[in-house]
């Protein structure tokens, strides 16, 4: 037999539950979206830089970048050494314009950059299948010039990943706190509903209803309200994320380019209302069972 509608959901403090769950799901979805986007971006940065090193050849005193002379001889020697090294797929010397473009955000587009003794930069793509012997390569390059520096981006990438991971842990902590707060609100709301329907509960108890039967009445009520609130919260999140994505698109930044969520990420966010409904229902059930355990 179906459960009769004995616990109307429009009575007591419980009627605010959908709105509280909506707010919780909204913030949880925002935190989740940020965490997922960061995770995705970190993965992309790691993939982009994992097979890349940059060789920096500082200019000798009195020489400017692009000028013929000892610098060019050092560059040619380095390129030759790189091409002779196993595990290196591509070697590309950055043009002076490209180096100037990299510095432009910090130094401006005036003539200052042209006056500076800029290093020569060589972008080296490593083979993903055949590992290169970087320590040996560094030894060779040190013979050409002890000031020649090989940057495998690990320090920069490490800091970035640590920052990203810290932020992701914070997002997880936010989610955990939101879950905790939701449970607290559900417990309060369920106790309030239990008190409001105590006469019905006592009657069912006297008729021989098992605790599970009575708890199910509250469980379905809480699940219905949790799902309603969760869907409202998700709709609000969708609107907020859409607005944010429009703003981010205007920036056209190289880092923000990776922040779009994957289909799996979107599916995770879409599951939040159902998870919220489940959490609400199970918390309500547990709360009712605890209250009922005080009855003989």
Partner 1 sequence: MVRFENVGVRYGVGSEVLRDITLHIAPGSFQFLTGASGAGKSSLLKLMYLAQLPSRGSVQVFGQDFAKTPRRDLPALRRRIGVVFQDFRLLKNLSVFDNVALPLRIAGEDEKRARKNVSELLDWVGLGGRLQDSPDTLSGGEQQRVAIARAVITKPSLLLADEPTGNVDDRIAYRLMRLFEELHRSGTAVVVATHNDALVRRFSHPILVLADSVLQPGTAGPAFASTDGAAGSGRITK
State the residues that interact with partner 1 by CB under 8 A. Answer: 1-6, 8, 199-200, 202-210, 213, 293, 295-296
Smallest gap from Cβ 224 to partner 1, in A, equals 16
> In the complex with partner 1, which residue's Cβ is closer, 156 or 213?
213
Other C-beta atoms lying within 10 Å of the C-beta of residue 186: 27
Among residues 37, 282, 44, 33, which one has the least CA distance to residue 182?
A: 282
> In the complex with partner 1, which residue's Cβ is closer, 3 or 184?
3
Other C-beta atoms lying within 10 Å of the C-beta of residue 147: 14
Smallest gap from Cβ 211 to partner 1, in A, equals 8
Smallest gap from Cβ 159 to partner 1, in A, equals 59
- Euclidean distance between CA atoms 21 and 171, whole angstroms: 18
> In the complex with partner 1, which residue's Cβ is closer, 26 or 218?
218
In the chain, at which residue ranges do the beta strands (DSSP E only) sit? 52-57, 88-93, 120-126, 149-151
Helix and strand element counts for the chain (H, E):
10, 4
> In the complex with partner 1, which residue's Cβ is closer, 2 or 264?
2
> In the complex with partner 1, which residue's Cβ is closer, 249 or 295?
295
What is the Cα Rg of the chain in Å?
31
Smallest gap from Cβ 210 to partner 1, in A, equals 5
Smallest gap from Cβ 292 to partner 1, in A, equals 10
Please calculate the CA angle 191-195-198 and round it to the nearest 5 degrees.
130
- Euclidean distance between CA atoms 30 and 236, whole angstroms: 10
Buried b (16+ CB within 10 A) or exposed e, 204-214: bbeeebebeeb
Smallest gap from Cβ 1 to partner 1, in A, equals 4
Among residues 40, 205, 39, 56, which one has the least CA distance to residue 138?
A: 56
Phi and psi at residue 256, to the nearest 5° = -75, -15
Q: Regarding beta strands 52-57 and 88-93, do their DSSP bridges make them parallel or antiparallel, or are they unpaired? A: unpaired
> In the complex with partner 1, which residue's Cβ is closer, 34 or 201?
201
> In the complex with partner 1, which residue's Cβ is closer, 23 or 201?
201
Smallest gap from Cβ 9 to partner 1, in A, equals 12
Residues in the chain: 296
* The pair of three-digit structure tokens given for residue 178, joined into one six-digit string: 């939101």
> In the complex with partner 1, which residue's Cβ is closer, 13 or 200?
200
Smallest gap from Cβ 14 to partner 1, in A, equals 15
Residue 128 carries which DSSP code? S
């Amino acid at each position: 037999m179906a459960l009769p509608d004995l616990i109307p959901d429009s009575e007591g403090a419980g009627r605010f539950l959908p709105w509280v769950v909506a707010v919780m799901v909204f913030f949880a979805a925002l935190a989740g979206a940020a965490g997922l986007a960061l995770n995705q971006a970190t993965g992309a940065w790691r993939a982009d830089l994992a097979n890349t090193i940059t060789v920096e050849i500082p200019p000798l005193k009195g020489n400017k970048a692009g000028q013929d002379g000892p610098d060019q001889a050092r560059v040619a020697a380095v390129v030759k050494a790189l091409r002779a090294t196993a595990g290196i797929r591509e070697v590309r010397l950055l043009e002076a314009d490209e180096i100037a473009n990299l510095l432009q955000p910090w130094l401006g587009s005036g003539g200052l950059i042209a006056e500076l003794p800029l290093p020569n930069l060589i972008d080296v793509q490593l083979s993903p299948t055949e590992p290169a012997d970087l320590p040996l390569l560094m030894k060779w390059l040190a013979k050409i010039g002890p000031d020649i520096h090989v940057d495998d981006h690990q320090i920069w990438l490490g800091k970035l990943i640590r920052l990203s991971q810290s932020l992701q842990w914070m997002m997880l902590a936010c989610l955990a706190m939101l879950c905790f707060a939701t449970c607290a609100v559900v417990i309060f709301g369920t106790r309030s509903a239990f008190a409001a329907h105590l006469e019905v509960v006592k009657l069912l108890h006297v008729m021989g209803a098992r605790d599970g039967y009575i708890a199910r009445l509250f469980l379905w009520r809480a699940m219905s309200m949790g799902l309603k609130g969760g869907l409202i919260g998700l709709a609000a999140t969708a609107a907020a994320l859409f607005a944010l994505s429009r703003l981010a698109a205007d920036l056209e930044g190289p880092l923000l380019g990776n922040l779009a969520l994957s289909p799996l990420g979107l599916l995770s966010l879409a599951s939040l209302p159902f998870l919220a409904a489940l959490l609400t229902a199970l918390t309500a059930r547990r709360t009712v069972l605890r209250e009922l355990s005080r009855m003989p």
